[in-house]
Amino acid sequence: HREWHLLSRPVGWPEPENFALVEAPVPTPGEGQVLVRNRYVSVDPYMRGRMSAAKSYVAPYELGKVMQGGAVGEVVASHAEGLSVGDHVLHFFGWREYAAVDAANAVKVDPQAAPLSTYLGVLGMTGLTAYAGLLRTAAFKEGDAVFVSGAAGAVGSQVGQIAKLKGASRVVGSAGSDEKVRLLVEEYGFDAAFNYKAGPVSEQLRTAAPDGIDVYFDNVGGDHLEAAIGSLNRGGRIAVCGMISVYNNTEPAPGPRNLARLIQTRGRIEGFLVGDHYDLQPQFVQEVGPWVASGALKYGETVVEGIENNLEAFLGVLRGDNTGKMLVKL
Ligand code: NDP
């Protein structure tokens, strides 16, 4: 059994020497626990925050200890009522091959109903993030023009498609390569998309959304946020989901220079955390599940094989190697 430990806290971009893949005994499940052989392990941008010591909404990873994250796996031993060998569960002990998990912290999932990997992505945490952030925080309504950054990623690709399925007047996405831009328009049905590396975001957004935007779903921060404020229509809403462009900064990034536009537009900027919106989970699965099953909502996955590549997969998310949800398959 192998597991990933954090050895030291990265400053700026994480480096391989901050981490170690450690051999350890397979954990022994106690009373009320199951032993899970992980099959898919999630890597997510928020993990960068947990590698730092700064206090946040989740505790920092402890030095010299195994890291955590979403995972789905198969129960291979059970000392818990209600879970049997052969069941599949979603839990929070990723970055490792085997985990002893309290039954109370394991959610049974059905690999017949949907592929196992989707419980970490399109039907899982990132899917609910898109759904809650767009519909609740940004208060999306039919006819809105929507802009989403990180649009070819797990959350962003779902935001754009949900907006489209719910009657957006225009959906615009930004992403970091021409190939991703092509995917957004040709496969995911975005009305327009642009490569943010190809020119100033504000100019590209004005061209892509000449009548302005009513909703901005922010995954990136920085120049994207400033551009969105610049294109915001009266009564516009900005849901701040993430700011991946600043996660590896060593100094705080300057804020948008055009906040005064919020007065004129009566605009609103609001951050949210998916953890506060699990009351929407049943509604989310009920509405989005059939879209996924029918193909009305498409999803991508970038799957890296092997626990030894877990760190590389995580670094890949920060670099933009992924299209859709980045996962490690064990
Ligand atoms: P993604 O699948 O979107 O992967 C991250 C993507 O970010 C990369 O693929 C890359 O794509 C893009 N990126 C990296 N660096 C930059 C940069 N400097 N500028 C612009 N884009 C960049 O990840 P998720 O869908 O899991 O997460 C998306 C965002 O949502 C993140 O900010 C994350 O922190 C946040 N989040 C927030 C939650 C909440 O509860 N608030 C819950 C889940 C996620 P590209 O090639 O386009 O650059």
Same domain, 105 and 206: no
How large a percentage of the chain has pLDDT more than 70? 100
Residue 254 has pLDDT above 90, yes or no: no
Same domain, 184 and 235: yes
Q: Virtual CA dihedral for 215, 186, 151, 304, nearest 10 degrees? A: 160
Write down the pLDDT at residue 70: 98
Q: Are 223 and 199 in contact (CB under 8 A)?
A: no
Q: Is residue 240 part of a domain?
A: yes
Of 272, 289, 310, which residue sits at a domain end? 272
Residue 215's DSSP bridge partners are 146, 237
Q: Are 95 and 68 in contact (CB under 8 A)?
A: yes
Return the ligand 1 atom nearest residue 275 CA: 40
Same domain, 97 and 206: no
Same domain, 7 and 129: no
Same domain, 147 and 201: yes
Residue 111 has pLDDT above 90, yes or no: yes
Tell me, in angstroms, the distance from the centre of ligand 1 to residue 56's CA.
Answer: 18
Give, as one character, the DSSP assignment of residue 28.
P
Q: Is 207 helix (H, G, I), strand (E, B) or coil?
A: helix
Write down the pLDDT at residue 286: 97
Nearest to 129 by CA among 243, 239, 247, 268: 239
Q: Is residue 196 part of a domain?
A: yes
CATH code of the domain containing 228: 3.40.50.720
What total number of domains does the chain contain? 2
Tokens matching residue 244: 């991946």
This prediction's pTM: 0.98
Same domain, 88 and 67: yes
- Of all protein residues, the one whose alpha carbon is nearest to atom 1 of ligand 1 is 153
- Of all protein residues, the one whose alpha carbon is nearest to atom 2 of ligand 1 is 153
Q: Is residue 49 part of a domain?
A: yes
Same domain, 107 and 180: no
Euclidean distance between CA atoms 274 and 131, whole angstroms? 9
Write down the pLDDT at residue 156: 98
Q: Is residue 281 part of a domain?
A: no
The 10 Å Cβ neighbour count of residue 275 is: 12
Same domain, 21 and 112: yes
Same domain, 161 and 212: yes
Q: Please, what is the average pLDDT of the chain?
A: 97
Q: Are 284 and 259 in contact (CB under 8 A)?
A: no
How many residues make up the chain in this entry? 330
- Model confidence over 4-54: pLDDT tens digits? 999 999 999 999 999 999 999 999 999 999 999 999 999 999 999 999 998
How large a percentage of the chain has pLDDT more than 90? 98
Return the ligand 1 atom nearest residue 175 CA: 47
Q: Give me the DSSP letters along 241-255.
A: ---GGGTT-SSPPP-
Q: Is residue 288 part of a domain?
A: no
Euclidean distance between CA atoms 259 and 253, whole angstroms? 15
Residues contacting 250, CB < 8 A, separation 6+: 11, 12
Q: Are 136 and 271 in contact (CB under 8 A)?
A: no
Q: Is residue 154 part of a domain?
A: yes
Q: Given the structure tokens 């890597």, which residue do they identify?
A: 43
Tokens matching residue 92: 């929070």
Write down the pLDDT at residue 324: 98
Give the binding-site residues of ligand 1, using a 6 Å CB cut-off: 44-46, 126, 129, 150, 152-156, 175-177, 180, 219-220, 241-242, 244-245, 272-274, 317-318, 320, 322, 326
Tokens matching residue 16: 């391989």
Same domain, 80 and 133: no
Residue 234 CA: distances (Å) to CA of 145, 147, 262? 12, 15, 9
How large is the average pLDDT for residues 76-95? Answer: 98
Can you give the residue range of the structural domain that contains 104?
Answer: 2-121+299-329
Q: Is residue 39 part of a domain?
A: yes
Euclidean distance between CA atoms 62 and 52, whole angstroms? 10
Same domain, 139 and 251: yes
- ipTM for the whole complex: 0.99
Q: Is residue 255 part of a domain?
A: yes
Residue 56 has pLDDT above 90, yes or no: no
Tell me, in angstroms, the distance from the centre of ligand 1 to residue 150's CA.
Answer: 5
- Phi (first) and psi of residue 277, to 5 degrees: -125, 25
Residue 57 has pLDDT above 90, yes or no: no
Residues contacting 67, CB < 8 A, separation 6+: 4, 5, 6, 47, 50, 61, 94, 95
